[in-house]
Structures are given as structure tokens and as C-alpha cells.
Amino acid sequence: MRVSFQLNGKPVAAEIEPRTHLADCLRETLRLTGTHLGCEHGACGACTVIVDGAAVHACLMLAVQAEGRAVVTVEGLSADDALTPLQTAFRKHHALQCGFCTPGMLTTAHALLTEEPDADAERIRAVISGNLCRCTGYIPIVEAVLEARAAYRKKP
């Protein structure tokens, strides 16, 4: 069957089996492989994408449920080759090592700071607790997200 939605600001359509989840649709059908799969049961958060502004596990959402909605993946966070302030802060604070959980961390943090640019460390920790990272121990990730808040506050 066919599903159509907005992906990183552009209209896309995909031919899929009804059982295909959104992450497989993005990765295998639309060939956008920045969204990673770490568990496929909603426990690790690596596949987090933003659907109509909300951070969502793409492994727990059927692709057909994206019909007509706006999906943003890690590839859509920066419009051009430059890093966003959030990505820059991740690099500065060494908030990633192997890079596998990073797309989900970025989408989760982006969704959070878009709604709550004043989130404190405790709030950031609570929100990213749905995203597992095995390399960093989370401390630099929290530091990076805290630093990135300023850029979200400036937005109109």
C-alpha cells in the first residue's frame, strides 16, 4: 500500500506492506538511514523522529500512521551542511562516541528544547532517559543540551 507524508519539509510517498513500521519505511524504503534501530521495542530511543512536533519512537509507529503528517529525522535538523547549535554543542562537549544513539538523542533534545527552551538539567535528564547511550554516561549529553538552550530561546 501507499503512504504519503511530509519528510524533512518535502512531500514523499512510499509503497509499503501494511505491517511496515515507520523506521523501516524511512530506512529501507525511503533510504534515509540516519534513523537507527537499536531494539525495535521502544526501549532504546535510537529511532526517535519528530512527528508533528512530538518525539516518537519510529519503531512503535506504523508507517501508515504517518499519512498526511510531518516527519522530521536527524537528516532534517540542519538545512545545510552547517551544524545546528545543538549539534555544535554535542561536538564541543563530546556528547557522542560511537554515534549510534546520537540521531535519537538529537531529535529528542530538539523536540524538547523547541517546546521548553528553559528546561533545566533535571528535566533534560528525565526526557532523555528514554534514549539509551552506552558510551558517554550521559553527563556530556546533558551539558550539550543545556548549552544549546540559548539558541532555542532566540527563536520567535
Partner 1 sequence: MRGTNRYIGSPVERIEDLRFLRGRGEFVGDLRRENMLHAAILRSPIAHGRICGLDVSAALSTPGVRAVITAAQIGPVPTIPLRLLPLPGTERFLQPVIAADRVRYVGEPVAVVLADSAALAEDGVGTIALEIEELAPVADRRASGKHDILLFEESGTNLAMNFTATIGDADAAFRAADYVRREQFKVQRSTATTMEPRGLLAEWDAAQGRMTVHGAAKVPFFNRDTLARLLGLVPTSVDLIENDVGGGFGARGEFYPEDFLIPFAARHVGHPVRWIEDRRENLMAMNQARQTDCDVEIACRRDGKIIGLRGEVFVDLGAYIRTTGLIAPRTLAQFFSGPYRVPNMRITCQSLLTNKTPTGTYRAPGRYEASFFCERLIELAARDLGIDGAEMRRRNLIGAAEMPYKLPRLEPGSPASDTECDSGDYSEPLDRCLAEFGWNEKRELQGRLIDGRYHGIAVACFIEGAGAGPKETARLDLETDGTVTVYVGSAAVGQGLETVMAQIAADTLGLPLDQVRVLHGSTTYLQEGYGAFHSRSTILGGSAVFEGAKALLEKIRAAAATRLGSAADDIELVDGRARKSDGSSASLAELAADSLRVDATFANNNTLTYAYGSSAAHVAVDPGTGRVELLDYLVVEDVGRIVNPLTLHGQAIGQIVQGLGGAFMENLVYDASGQLLTGTLADYLIPTGTDFPRIRAIALENHPSPSNPLGVKGAGEGAIIPVGGLMANAVANALASFVAMPNELPLSPARVWLMGSINRSGGSPRPAATTTIAH
In whole angstroms, what is the distance from residue 93 CA to residue 75 CA?
21
Q: Which is nearer to partner 1, 64 or 131 (CB)?
A: 131
Q: Say how many residues touch partner 1, by CB under 8 A.
A: 59
In whole angstroms, what is the distance from residue 149 CA to residue 97 CA?
22
Piece in contact with partner 1 (CB under 8 A), picked from 61-69, 99-107, 111-119, 148-156 = 99-107
Q: Check binding of 102 to partner 1 (CB under 8 A).
A: yes
CB of 92 to partner 1, least distance (A): 6
Piece in contact with partner 1 (CB under 8 A), picked from 36-44, 50-58, 61-69, 148-156 = 36-44
Q: Which is nearer to partner 1, 121 or 156 (CB)?
A: 121
Q: Please spell the DSSP secondary structure of 83-142, one letter per residue.
A: PPHHHHHHHHTT--SS-SSHHHHHHHHHHHHHH-TT--HHHHHHHHTTS--SSS-SHHHH
Task: Report which of 71, 40, 37 is spatially closest to residue 54, judged by C-alpha positions.
Answer: 71
Site string for partner 1, 106-145 (x = CB under 8 A): x--------------x--xxx-xxxxxxxxxxxxxxx---
